[in-house]
Structure 1
Amino acid sequence: MMLIPDAHLRVLADGRVLIGFAPLRVLRLSPSAARLTTRWLAGGPVGADPAHQELARRLVTAGLAHPCHAHTRWGPQDVTVVIPVRDEPHGVRALRDALHGRHPVLVVDDGSAEPLPGAAARHPAPLGPAAARNTGVLSVTTALVAFLDADVTPGPGWLEPLLAHFEDPRVAAVAPRVRSRPGRSPLARYERARSPLDLGAAPAEVGPGARVGYLPSAALLVRTSVLRELGGFDERMRFGEDVDLIWRLTAAGHRVRYEPASEVLHRPRPNWPALLRQRFGYGTSAGPLARRHGRAVAHARLSPVTAAAWTAGFVGRPRTALALAGVDAALLARELVPAGVPARAALRLAVRGQSAVGRMLADAALRAWWPVALPALLTGRRGRVAVALVLLARLRGRPWALDPMTWCAAGLADDLAYGAGVWWGALRARTAVPLLPDLSTRPRGNDGRRTGFGPQGVRR
């Protein structure tokens, strides 16, 4: 195995201090560990020594580096593809053709109006995608199972980068990048740039609170034995069952990876109302997920001091806000400087952290919190200016072929539909957890336990 440094990794103190972001993590190394890490990050292989393997694992799970396996014993013969489908015979045929007969394929017909020919199993009535996937797993005999929805098309060589991760026995699930299929319509261009299934171009360790917090089941590769041990997907959930599965895997001590070197294409929604219904449905999963996973569903995570600083700034108390921001920076420096981070670098990290919190709060205000936040913001001049600045900032992600007005209107409608779903799901589940920020100073790690983080999410 080799290690590839994360794009945002910073190395200080002659390699003895490593800093990663989202969330901010600081790892202090002994001189010998620093020499090993420097060699690995320069392209040297990680040896078979158990101590070396454990150090490499720490770097990977902290998001500071990403594994690269030159060889793998896994192949297409180890994978069964399960396709849950309802009323999409053309999609199934296209997906089968794209797979080129390299794997066993199990099609589960989830109560289609016209029974699908060649289905391995059929539900007499629709039970939902989670139930369809579980039905398919009952017939899987291979070590790995790949779930592919009928509206995705895997690209050439999509499987090999995913299989390599299973060289690590701790890895239980891996997913490719799911990109919206290119198109000429404004909707297709919007989906290509802002699909919730597309988790970006950077590889990641996956788990609650991480940069990539979940994986969509539109395309997902899982160890069959681990999936059965956990009881499969939760069939009571119509939306969010994939998020629930990933969080149960990490809580059980398994590792989950996101691998964008593998790519599949997803068919966009047919029209704008369908897109907004989908986003609303995604939002409704927040309530059931909160019942199962608590504050992991929070749309904003920040320390109480940081929250107080931003609140003071919003209500027009700039001196109080600056004082609290100074306290926050001092608390962060108290964590970083003893770890070997220079004071000036610690200050820059504090400023960067405050900026990231501002962006996070702005996104949460327009998405999950909008039924309360937008009326409050739009009634005052300061709030209206803040909303306008957020919308202007979002123009940076606009595809060149989509005009600014359409981009902003589509994004706002997307946010409002999702946020409405969050509130509806919270009301139905009778929980306010999805509507509240997580003000814990010690956020949960990928294994679900409390970790040694400082006031802004610094891992020591």
Structure 2
Amino acid sequence: MPSTPSTPSTSSRPTTRSPLRDVCVADLDLDLDLHLDPARADGAVLSLTPAPGGPPVRAGTVYALVRLRGRPVATVLTTVPDGADPATVLTTAFRAQHASHDQQPYGTSPSCGRTGAPPPRTTVVVATRERADTLGRALDSLLAQDHPDFHVVVVDNAPVTTATRELIDARYADRLTYVHEPVPGLATAHNAGVAATDSPVVAFTDDDVVADPRWLSALTTPFATDPRTGCVTGLILPARLTTPAQVLLESHGGFAKGFAPRLYDPAAPPADEPLFPFTAGSFGSGANMAFRASALRAVGGFDPATGTGTPARGGDDLYAFVRILTAGHRLRYTPDALVWHHHRETWRDLRNQAYGYGAGLTAYLTAVLCRHPALLPALLAKLPRGLAHARAITAHRDGRSAGTPGAHGTPGTPGAHGAQSHPWPRTLSRLERRGMLYGPLGYARARWGSR
């Protein structure tokens, strides 16, 4: 993904440190019938593997994706004692977690990705800038997809070296398309990828992910079954949790949007989303999204004054989500479409992300209003609640009420997306809010610069 401008400097590290560090990330597949009492459910461990490229699962704190016969259904965080079998400990923790939640059995909700309909012809666009070391890992996973008809386009965004082109020529020359885009910015790079294809569906992911083999099929099949679907997003889980910064980001919610399929329909706004459609961050993330190409082109594509690599710092994916919805298309979220994301490792990276999140949020809202002023009355009507929501998601939380490892879903544990009581240090809260104040200015600078 294109590099970001420097965040305003701050010498202090977050004052709240996550109690979790060096967490092992695992992938557990079970054959369980949870329609029965989970405490008595018979079943077997089909597989237990580390997250792609990770170290073997061992004693200590383990954060695991749980699948039921291949389908992602939950995550579980627990401690594996020395000498214990990790698969047994994780399975027991998952059963206890399921029993403690008053919910429908896993797997009973219809999944958007498994309907029997063949997925449409698709192009996968990967924008990159000077990250050939991670790009190769991502491309290997993309070229191993089980989708029957797809092509990969790599957009080299404002490169300063030939490293990406050399990687493509050496390892992938006959297997994908290389596009050079000299204008910096993630939205511009994505638009260049769209221009390079005639596929009816265009999917996007980043150069720091590893895609599950079924990712693309699950992400694109909904377009074949519902002509009103304009966008589909999927599940993003951490591939590593080895540094405090990575753990803190995931404890803050990471990029995950849960394990329940969601349908966002502008004709029937969701009752639990009072700010719909302006809470675009709840719909998905740019590292795992696909669009009906005709719908994306009809709304003008991505706004080139948004996105990483521009003064706006972000918001390109959020802008596209809102434009698709306000144009009358449906947006679907399906957890079957899984990618593993390599979070940035350092405190400086985390500060950059916090500031960029805030800037991208208000930059995309500015973009929506500048390009589509007819939406202003709807946004103003939701403004008071929107400000309260912004204060809540950027509030300092010390995590003192956090549960212990093994109580996934409680505050302070990785993957508890949407819980407004997870730890988030004051340093990062201030940076997010400073980013929000800067976002409209950043967007204006990007628009002016593009002229």
Evaluate the alpha carbon distance shift between residue 68 and residue 165 of structure 1 in structure 2; reply closer, same or farther with a 3 A threshold.
Answer: same
Q: Residues 139-178 of structure 1: matches in 2 within 5 Å?
A: 139-166=196-223, 167-178=225-236
In structure 2, the partner of 1:109 is: 156
Contact 1:182 1:192 in 2 (8 A): no
Q: CA deviation at 1:275?
A: 1.0
Which position in structure 2 is the counterpart of 1:214?
283
Partner amino acid, structure 2, of 1:276: R
- TM alignment of 1:269-308, pairs within 5 A: 269-291=344-366, 292-293=368-369, 294=376
Gaps of 5+ in 2: 1-108, 169-176, 265-275, 308-313, 370-375, 404-409, 415-420, 445-451
Distance 1:232 1:209 in 2: 18
Partner of 2:29: none
Shift of 1:211: 9.4
1:398 equivalent to 2:374? Answer no
Give the distance between the partners of 1:263 and 1:252, measured in 2 at CA.
Answer: 27
| Aligned-residue offset at 1:286 | 3.3
Structure-1 residue corresponding to 2:139: 96
Structure 2 equivalent of residue 85 of structure 1: 128
- Superposition pairs of residues 414-433 of structure 1, within 5 angstroms: 414-426=428-440
SS, match of residue 294 in structure 2: helix
Shift of the 130–98 alpha-carbon distance from structure 1 to 2, 3 Å rule, reads same
- The runs of 5 or more residues in structure 1 that have no matched partner are 1-64, 304-356, 371-386, 401-406, 431-460
Q: Give the alignment partner of residue 245 of structure 1, picking from 310, 314, 320.
A: 320
- Preserved CA contact (<8 Å) 1:143 1:223: yes
Asked if 1 retains the 8 angstrom alpha-carbon contact of 2:301 and 2:320, the reply is yes
CA distance in 2, matches of 1:283, 1:250: 22
Amino acid of the structure 2 residue aligned with 1:143: P
For the 8 Å contact 2:252–2:422, the answer to whether it is kept is no
Change (3 A) 1:270 1:74: same
Larger radius of gyration: 1
Say whether the 8 Å CA contact 2:205–2:289 is kept in structure 1: yes
3-state SS of paired residue (2:295): helix
The verdict on how the C-alpha distance between 1:297 and 1:282 changes in structure 2, with shifts beyond 3 A counting, is farther
What percent of counterpart residues are identical? Answer: 25
Shift of 1:415: 2.4
Q: How far apart are the structure 2 equivalents of 1:295 and 1:424?
A: 23
- Structure 1 residue identity aligned to 2:323: R
Q: Structure 1 residues 302 and 423 mapped into 2: Cα distance closer, same or farther (>3 Å)?
A: closer
Aligned mates of 1:364, 1:392 — CA distance in 2: 22
Secondary structure, counterpart of 2:339 in structure 1: strand
Secondary structure of 1:113's match? coil
Could you say if the C-alpha distance between residues 289 and 183 of structure 1 is closer, same or farther in structure 2, counting changes exceeding 3 Å? closer
Matches within 5 A, 1:24-423: 68=112, 71-75=115-119, 78-100=121-143, 102=145, 103-115=150-162, 116-117=164-165, 118=168, 120-124=178-182, 126-166=183-223, 167-206=225-264, 208=277, 213-238=282-307, 239-291=314-366, 292-293=368-369, 294=376, 361=388, 364-365=390-391, 367=393, 391-393=399-401, 396-399=410-413, 410-423=424-437
Preserved contact between residue 280 and residue 419 of structure 1 (Cα < 8 Å): yes
Paired letter, 1:208:
P
Q: Report the Cα offset of residue 112 of structure 1.
A: 1.7
Per chain length, whose mean CA-contact separation is higher, i.e. which structure has more relative contact order (CA < 8 Å, sep 6+)?
A: 2
Matched to 2:137, the amino acid is A
Rounded to whole Å, the distance in 1 between the matches of 2:282 and 2:390 is 16
Question: Which has a greater percent of strand?
Answer: 2
Mapped contact 1:204–1:212 kept (Cα < 8 A): no
> What is the match of residue 443 of structure 1?
none
How far does the alpha carbon of each residue in 1:315-369 deviate from its partner, in whole angstroms, 9 at most, with x for none? xxxxxxxxxxxxxxxxxxxxxxxxxxxxxxxxxxxxxxxxxx9xx95x744655x
* Greater percentage in helix: 1
CA distance 1:276–1:247, change in 2 (3 Å)? same
State the SS of the aligned residue for 2:215: coil
Q: Can you list the C-alpha shifts for 1:181-221, whole angstroms capped at 9, x where unaligned?
A: 23232222223333442222222224526797432111211
Query: How many Å apart are 1:251 and its aligned residue?
Result: 0.4
Q: Report the residue type matching 1:84 in the other structure.
A: A
The 1-side partners of 2:430 and 2:341 are apart by 23
CA contact (8 A) 2:243 2:345 kept: no
| Counterpart in the other structure of 1:433 | none
State the distance in 1 between where 2:361 and 2:425 align: 20
How far apart, CA to CA, are the structure 2 residues paired with 1:299 and 1:274? 35
Q: Distance in 2 between matches of 1:78 and 1:299?
A: 40
Distance 1:411 1:176 in 2: 28
Q: Counterpart in 1 of 2:55?
A: none
TM-score normalised by L of structure 1: 0.55
Deviations 1:114-169 (A, max 9, x none): 12223621123x52111011101111122111111101111131223223322110
- What SS does structure 2 have at the residue aligned with 1:222? strand
Distance 1:242 1:181 in 2: 22
Q: Structure 2-normalised TM-score? A: 0.56
- 2:72 corresponds in structure 1 to none
1:272-313 Cα distance to aligned partner (Å, 9 max, x none): 11111112012112333333254877998778xxxxxxxxxx
Q: Any idea what the Cα deviations from partners look like across 1:380-422, whole Å, max 9, x if unmatched? A: xxxxxxx88x85456632238xxxxxx9775433322211211
Return the letter of the residue paired with 1:415: S
Contact 1:208–1:296 under 8 Å retained in 2? no
Q: What's the CA shift string for 1:235-290, capped at 9, x where partnerless?
A: 01131011011000000000001111221111111201111111201211233333
Q: 1:226 to 1:83 in 2, by over 3 A?
A: same
Q: Compared with structure 1, are the counterparts of its residues 219 and 297 closer, same or farther at alpha carbon in structure 2 (3 Å cutoff)?
A: farther
State whether residues 81 and 145 of structure 1, in contact with CA within 8 Å, keep that contact through their aligned partners in structure 2. yes
Given that 2:205 and 2:286 are in contact with CA atoms closer than 8 Å, whether structure 1 keeps it comes out as: yes
